[in-house]
Amino acid sequence: MEFTKHARGLLGLAAVGALSISMVACSNNSDTSDTGSGDGDVVTVGYVAVGPEGGWRDAHEKAIRDAFDADASFDLKYAPASSPTDQNSQINAFATFVNDEVDAILLTATEASGWESSLELAQEAEIPVILLDRGVDASEDLFETRIAPDNVAVAAQVGEWALTAFPDGANYYVLEGVPGLSVVNERNEGFEEAIAGASGWKEVGAQTANWSADEGKSVTETVLRANDNDIQFIFAQNDEMGIGAAQAVKDAGLTPGTDVKIATIDGTTGALEALAEGDLSFVAQYNPFFGDIAIDAVNKALAGEALEKTIIVPGESFDSPEAGQQALDDGLGF
């Protein structure tokens, strides 16, 4: 049976009719009954989000919501996951948006896999899908574009800096984010490619700390004890884990930046402060502020314009206490 925009409301009911999903309308528009995308109409956009997960995620999702909220031509429906790892709640929210006949969907996936059926449903319903930050393991034909900083390139900056900081190599440990995410795989890829072939480098291990400062601290405490403190470098895939690792280093009687250097990715205010104080040694910015780029992509997709499959968001890096303080003075934290 052909699945048209007129029929799709009937087909989604069995899957989502019994669900209760928390969606918050983030718009200046009080009248949400007009959801068409023609001239003068309010454009309804469903935002399948991750929700509270840490400093970067909070800043990013606020930036997206604020950008659409400031534009009276949009009505943004915000649907955060019930937890940062609950893919099922995201799939249910996505299905509800399709059933409700929104004009476009923004998706930041809690997991990379498991999205084929949802994306196919949106495609059949002629609803463009735009990925924000995280990629998915699905055919590129099923989404319009992915907007994100380049995880591989950002992590490669960490690796390139580490080679200069440790010209003779180092024993190092990697604190990873939530398993199964494209961002984790890409950050590993970029770092590993940067140090590949360099002599003297030994990976003592890698373990998830779930983007958490507390878990970053506890994992680092265990690693230092197990290796008689013989770790010279820690690559934390986000700022919070790195800040936790710095505390564990101090608790072990070591000095961050001297005995153990710690590099992180994101560029939160807390990380820049830790860099300025010498607790972190390198911070690569993963720029969260691309609401304007998302709006432009939605407008182009609805106009039928072709988009590049990846839209890269630029960022900076900071490699000294002075650079950290200057970034703070320039208001680059979040």
CA 152 to mean position of chain CA atoms: 13
d(CA 101, CA 92): 14
Q: What average pLDDT does the segment 296-324 reach? A: 97
73-93 confidence digits (pLDDT tens)? 999 999 999 999 999 999 999
Does 54 or 170 have the greater pLDDT score?
Answer: 170
Q: What average pLDDT does the segment 290-308 reach? A: 97
Domains and CATH numbers, the chain: 8-147+289-303 (3.40.50.2300), 151-286+318-329 (3.40.50.2300)
**329-334 — which CB contacts under 8 Å span 24+ positions?**
332/267, 332/272, 332/285, 333/267, 333/268, 333/269, 333/270, 333/271, 333/272, 333/273, 334/55, 334/56, 334/59, 334/267, 334/268, 334/269, 334/288, 334/289
Helix (H) or strand (E) holding 171: strand 171-176
Residue length of the chain: 334
Mean pLDDT, all residues of the chain: 90
Residue 127: which of 23, 5, 33, 292 has the closest Cα? 5
Q: What average pLDDT does the segment 92-112 reach? A: 97
**Given a cut of 80, is residue 99 above it in pLDDT?**
yes
Lowest-pLDDT range of 51-55, 64-68, 122-126, 154-158: 51-55
CA dihedral sign of residues 66, 118, 86, 53: negative
242-251 confidence digits (pLDDT tens)? 999 999 999 9
Q: Dihedrals φ, ψ of 249, to 5°?
A: -60, -45
20-41 confidence digits (pLDDT tens)? 344 444 444 333 334 444 456 8
What confidence score (pLDDT) does residue 13 get? 36
146-197 confidence digits (pLDDT tens)? 999 999 999 999 999 999 999 999 999 999 999 988 899 999 999 999 999 9
Q: What average pLDDT does the segment 46-53 reach? A: 96
Burial classification of residue 127, based on how many CB atoms lie within 10 Å of its CB (0-12 exposed, 13-18 middle, 19 or more buried): buried
d(CA 305, CA 144): 10
Confidence label for 54 from pLDDT (cuts 50, 70 and 90)? confident
Q: Dihedrals φ, ψ of 41, to 5°?
A: -90, 155
201-241 confidence digits (pLDDT tens)? 999 999 999 999 999 999 999 999 999 999 999 999 999 99
Q: Which residue has the tokens 């607790």?
A: 279
Query: Considering the chain, what percentage of its residues have pLDDT values greater than 70?
Result: 88
Stated pTM of the model: 0.80
| 206-234 CB burial, b ≥16 within 10 A, e <16 | ebbbbbbbebbbebbbebbeeeeeebbbb
**Joined tokens for residue 58:** 């909070």
Strands 24-26 vs 74-80: parallel, antiparallel or unpaired: antiparallel
**Given a cut of 90, is residue 15 above it in pLDDT?**
no
What confidence score (pLDDT) does residue 300 get? 98
What confidence score (pLDDT) does residue 19 get? 40
What confidence score (pLDDT) does residue 40 get? 62
Helix (H) or strand (E) holding 202: strand 202-208
